[in-house]
Structure 1
């Protein structure tokens, strides 16, 4: 991915730039180089140069002598910011699991996703943050209690009554006091913020009867004060006072998502088939009318905005960030549950996994079905999640139906693991992945219940029976988990980094939430003009990868001419593979004089010329080299 040219041009064309041109009397010209102090290119009249522009025209040579230099391949220093904590590598016998903890004293069990976060200062450093032992929180079905467990040993921190056992929970610092709270629903339909002793700090007004309500937390208006979205109620995180009531939602079952889809600095709320503004006004809606209408946010087109997947009835809908319907696809089953988005087959592109009442399936973003597998989920309301359990670079699909926890191969749908120490009526739960005991290896947390009769009840933590799975982050605090929407310490980001720009996963997580990344840069190397009237003009470039991840062949590049504020695409192509820490062999392109603008040209890598890109890089601002210069008079 790279910064949009529309954002780059104002700097390059009308103001002092981070680049300068250094013409040489004996050479045809030099590239614009990065400089610490921006300087004004001499040919930009809007810059405050006191001297007239110097002549930087290139020398015209005989057509037969228009040879061009190609840079030799070499090595470059890997940027420190590109070296993430990364995965622990391939796992030996990855689907050999053991039960690390089981809590069965939960009445009839739990039908909600267990939230994982930190409630207590376990290490005694005076702070409650991600270095403490995570805690597991859930409500009990029928018992209507709120339960908090120590993630390492399963010991009970508290169990308090009066909380809706059909309602979900979120762990987040809603009042910004440095200690995360639990957001839950009372049996009287209040939204409540509960402290680490099980005492409610506040309760909101009631918002009518809410069917299986779910919460999330976000700083919707970026004022430093988080809001709590509890189904249709939006309240102030400090005191529970009402901010807005979301109206017009007819879908019986839904779960809220907060995300700044249009990147205007304020987050939108997605609930049911509707998208609301930060103040609760309706922005747009999806046409799905199924009983369940669940969503996921991802990047499918390479632009800064987030696209929204809706699943409803037997349809998968894909909308652009402004509500424009991109595609509707018929999917198998009915009553689909909350989907998961990740690169499940390891091809560098995201897919969406969708559980329904009798089947679970995987889909490409263009609506192509990858695979479909039978399962048993009569309600169709349980969700799925994703994690790279074996460290091979492709995510597995995790799902728990009425009978078993299963892991599916992301590429083929083959069942890699199943465990029948589970039963459920499949209502709101889905497997959660977090390092709940801080042992450096991810665990899987699932909720079980006897909703449909005798069986397993409570919460079970599965771990790897060997040396461990790739390390994950220690928290999974909310149903709409997207890595960046809550900070690891439970605090609420004022302006969260768009998850679809950094990770492009939803209800899934990369190992340790800090993967290594590529970093492509491009530099000008040489230029030759054979004839100013007819050409050819030859320009050579070199692309380097300063990142810590290899880039496969096929990365696009785009060459543009620049005329004032107008940028016109001239030519596109693709690159060979570039290993991490290397500069590739230089390459040349051949042009005619009309391909060079009055104000020069731009060359951008990881740009297909139509707004698309392949890579999420650790630095998205260094993919372009700019020549602001006359080549011929």
Structure 2
């Protein structure tokens, strides 16, 4: 856990629950009502309202999300109860001496050697120095949960292979005893013969990996199954298409539907699911097929082999997002809006991932491909090539797209070069390339000029490099300029335009400082590590700054192992077995369970023989390879020390500024340019969110002194405690709370017996509290204590204050 140093003058801002009896003892002349058991701002209590030292009522600047406000007035204390003392003109329980916050019990802090309840004075509500300062040297996660199949006699038990990127979004599903948490959305499939696979859609609880929803599986009547089943490798996209989320509705899920059960080369359809929560149990219901709404004819595209998928963004600034499938645009009801050809890329139509980004900062997004940069014309509903698009003569290689600022390359009249992005493409040599191809990576301007590359994908001494997967972009080496990561058949590599014989003046500050073992890399390659992807060599990767040092770590899973690489050197800092036959999927880093901590989701599964080493040769401590393991796993740091992350990763072409935390698409004019946003300039990388990289919660707890507690009684009683967050980061729901009773009144709390347990039910942002209660049989004679997070599961700024003061301390002596 994260015990911080001396914070004797911590800045805090609301009224502690421990203050209630003190206020009464000091002669409160007002009256208050008991607070509901919901989240309150920390300045709200179940007793009188706070006042200033002059006795005037103090208005709280915070608002309640679950408890009524109270009224009352206070006078400065003249005499306090025997076990109380006067501090800041308020009678407070004598909680003992201290040298640091960790010495103080429960919901209190150390102030000049004295433990003082939080919110005394009123502006003392949290500890701004709470930060993660002991992050681990390596990425050493533990298993949070996994799914390997439904088991038993479930007719879908063979549908456990996954080639889709795990999508993370809060679908606003009922959460039982806890608030709604994010879900994980994937296609699971089974083999149906040589290169023919049947898929189904599944949705899982991000906290437990338990299945929540399904569609298109063999447990349905044949007609219903055929109407809803997806292509086995479709990439899903999630967003609120019908604008009902803020009214209690749900985001929609969009992907590719397999049409013909017998012909995998037959065209697929775009389709969407809505969540029907009117009944007792939510279900997935097909909302629409992508179609020509004049004729109601479904639009055929790609094939059942498709491994790509849609993106969801608002194109016309009306707040209603569109669904984009390469060049095809559908509205939120599934109506095709334009007339473009579906593009067939790679053998069997596996697919290509383009991007939609406002590259010229005019508030109108552009379609970015290898052969065009085109704005969306809302009047004519068509893509129109930008006037600045002026590529050199000749065909351009098709490929997967990434967009970021790679230097001062793009030049457009009237716009500053430092404000404009560049386009990264990873391309196979020909559109219908097979696995034994050798692809390339290049950078071109938004006008179409190639300014770096094409560089052949690194192959070492191998016979071919592979076709190449979708690029990820980040500042891997911390030099202030971004680099490009992509995978091939034999190597996963980071490509750096700074690693050329002549430095590029367009990349000021850029440097190429290779690790010694990478000194012989060819020009343009920062580092390359052996990997294995003979099956498709088109897999993606992702990025996250796990340790918060400003340089991203690369995350990649090949056919055999998931690996996390140091961005600057390429050294493997973590590995775990993860079998796959590979498609366009990649691991995802997000807060998948709503606890404001980071998890890593990895898909697994293959219907073919994959020859993997039993021990990872790059990281022997990874554990032994698991032949035949399918489904997915969720990994986390055991103490949640990784930098924080957002609770969303809503589509394959994920860019942070294109979606809100609750899976809504901003209006096109309100989308911030990723590459101009401080701390970003990346592609397929998640970010820490509004609370910062290394923010840290401080969970405290205190008994609520009421007639059930004061004086301590025997028999059946309902005991109430208030759990608060006095740190700088939010804490998720489900924090455990124990009520204990000792045999004798002077016995330490840890000798006591647990009488009852409960847990918080809602998220706790900084400076908020939640009351929880539980009933138990009390013996009398001893003291009553409360402890929060009894199993030490949370990253906590001051874990020593997770035990509240005993009832005999906070109940005033009469």
Calculate the TM-score normalised by the size of structure 1.
0.63
Asked if 2 retains the 8 angstrom alpha-carbon contact of 1:114 and 1:445, the reply is yes
Compute the RMSD of aligned alpha carbons: 2.8
What SS is found at the alignment partner of 1:277? strand
CA separation of 1:388 and 1:87: change in aligned 2, threshold 3 A: farther
CA separation of 1:181 and 1:192: change in aligned 2, threshold 3 A: same
2:285 is equivalent to residue 199 of structure 1: yes
What SS is found at the alignment partner of 1:484? helix
In the alignment, the residues of structure 2 paired with residue 414 and residue 399 of structure 1 have an alpha-carbon distance, to the nearest angstrom, of 13
Residue 97 of structure 1: aligned partner:
141
2:650 is equivalent to residue 490 of structure 1: no
What SS is found at the alignment partner of 1:303? helix
2:389 is equivalent to residue 295 of structure 1: no
Alpha-carbon displacement from aligned partner over 1:119-160 (angstroms, at most 9, x marks no partner): 12546999xxxx840000011233410110111111211111
CA separation of 1:298 and 1:90: change in aligned 2, threshold 3 A: farther
2:555 is equivalent to residue 398 of structure 1: yes
Asked if 2 retains the 8 angstrom alpha-carbon contact of 1:251 and 1:273, the reply is no
Q: 1:419 aligns with which of 576, 579, 586?
A: 576
Asked if 2 retains the 8 angstrom alpha-carbon contact of 1:363 and 1:371, the reply is yes
In the alignment, the residues of structure 1 paired with residue 129 and residue 207 of structure 2 have an alpha-carbon distance, to the nearest angstrom, of 23
2:230 is equivalent to residue 230 of structure 1: no
In the alignment, the residues of structure 2 paired with residue 125 and residue 177 of structure 1 have an alpha-carbon distance, to the nearest angstrom, of 24
Residue 316 of structure 2: aligned partner:
221
CA separation of 1:306 and 1:176: change in aligned 2, threshold 3 A: farther
In the alignment, the residues of structure 2 paired with residue 297 and residue 91 of structure 1 have an alpha-carbon distance, to the nearest angstrom, of 31
2:341 is equivalent to residue 247 of structure 1: yes
Asked if 2 retains the 8 angstrom alpha-carbon contact of 1:113 and 1:432, the reply is yes
2:443 is equivalent to residue 388 of structure 1: no
Residue 735 of structure 2: aligned partner:
none
Residue 201 of structure 2: aligned partner:
146
Alpha-carbon displacement from aligned partner over 1:573-630 (angstroms, at most 9, x marks no partner): xxxxxxxxxxxxxxxxxxxxxxxxxxxxxxxxxxxxxxxxxxxxxxxxxxxxxxxxxx
CA separation of 1:85 and 1:487: change in aligned 2, threshold 3 A: farther
In the TM superposition, residue 92 of structure 1 has moved relative to its aligned partner by 2.2
2:422 is equivalent to residue 307 of structure 1: yes
What SS is found at the alignment partner of 1:217? strand
Q: 1:280 aligns with which of 383, 387, 400?
A: 383
Alpha-carbon displacement from aligned partner over 1:366-406 (angstroms, at most 9, x marks no partner): 46321111100112111111111223322110000000000
In the alignment, the residues of structure 2 paired with residue 219 and residue 432 of structure 1 have an alpha-carbon distance, to the nearest angstrom, of 24
In the alignment, the residues of structure 2 paired with residue 86 and residue 294 of structure 1 have an alpha-carbon distance, to the nearest angstrom, of 42
In the alignment, the residues of structure 1 paired with residue 325 and residue 573 of structure 2 have an alpha-carbon distance, to the nearest angstrom, of 36
CA separation of 1:89 and 1:355: change in aligned 2, threshold 3 A: farther
Residue 175 of structure 1: aligned partner:
242
Q: Summarize the alignment of residues 16-415 of structure 1 with structure 2, pairs less than 5 Å apart.
A: 88-105=132-149, 107-122=159-174, 132-141=180-189, 142-161=197-216, 162-178=229-245, 179-188=250-259, 189-196=268-275, 197-205=283-291, 206-210=299-303, 211-237=306-332, 239-247=333-341, 249-252=343-346, 253-271=351-369, 274-278=372-376, 279-282=382-385, 293-300=399-406, 301=408, 303-313=418-428, 314-330=439-455, 331-332=457-458, 333-366=465-498, 368-378=524-534, 379-415=536-572
CA separation of 1:120 and 1:228: change in aligned 2, threshold 3 A: same
What SS is found at the alignment partner of 2:419? coil
CA separation of 1:262 and 1:125: change in aligned 2, threshold 3 A: farther
Q: 261-270 or 149-158, which moves further after superposition?
A: 261-270
In the TM superposition, residue 108 of structure 1 has moved relative to its aligned partner by 4.0
Mark the runs of 5 or more structure 2 residues left unpaired by the alignment.
Answer: 1-127, 150-157, 190-196, 217-228, 260-267, 276-282, 292-298, 377-381, 409-416, 429-438, 459-464, 500-523, 610-626, 695-814
Asked if 1 retains the 8 angstrom alpha-carbon contact of 2:374 and 2:383, the reply is yes
Q: Give the strand-richer structure, 1 or 2.
A: 1
Alpha-carbon displacement from aligned partner over 1:227-249 (angstroms, at most 9, x marks no partner): 10134431001x11001244374
CA separation of 1:222 and 1:124: change in aligned 2, threshold 3 A: farther
In the alignment, the residues of structure 2 paired with residue 194 and residue 139 of structure 1 have an alpha-carbon distance, to the nearest angstrom, of 13
Alpha-carbon displacement from aligned partner over 1:268-304 (angstroms, at most 9, x marks no partner): 12356544432234555797866x7111110123532
Asked if 2 retains the 8 angstrom alpha-carbon contact of 1:288 and 1:312, the reply is no
CA separation of 1:438 and 1:209: change in aligned 2, threshold 3 A: closer
In the alignment, the residues of structure 2 paired with residue 255 and residue 109 of structure 1 have an alpha-carbon distance, to the nearest angstrom, of 22
Asked if 2 retains the 8 angstrom alpha-carbon contact of 1:85 and 1:512, the reply is no
In the alignment, the residues of structure 2 paired with residue 110 and residue 124 of structure 1 have an alpha-carbon distance, to the nearest angstrom, of 28
CA separation of 1:272 and 1:199: change in aligned 2, threshold 3 A: farther
Residue 612 of structure 1: aligned partner:
none
In the TM superposition, residue 455 of structure 1 has moved relative to its aligned partner by 1.8
In the alignment, the residues of structure 2 paired with residue 120 and residue 160 of structure 1 have an alpha-carbon distance, to the nearest angstrom, of 18
Asked if 1 retains the 8 angstrom alpha-carbon contact of 2:643 and 2:693, the reply is no
In the TM superposition, residue 224 of structure 1 has moved relative to its aligned partner by 2.0
Q: Report which structure shows greater RCO (CA 8 Å, sep ≥6).
A: 1
What SS is found at the alignment partner of 1:198? strand
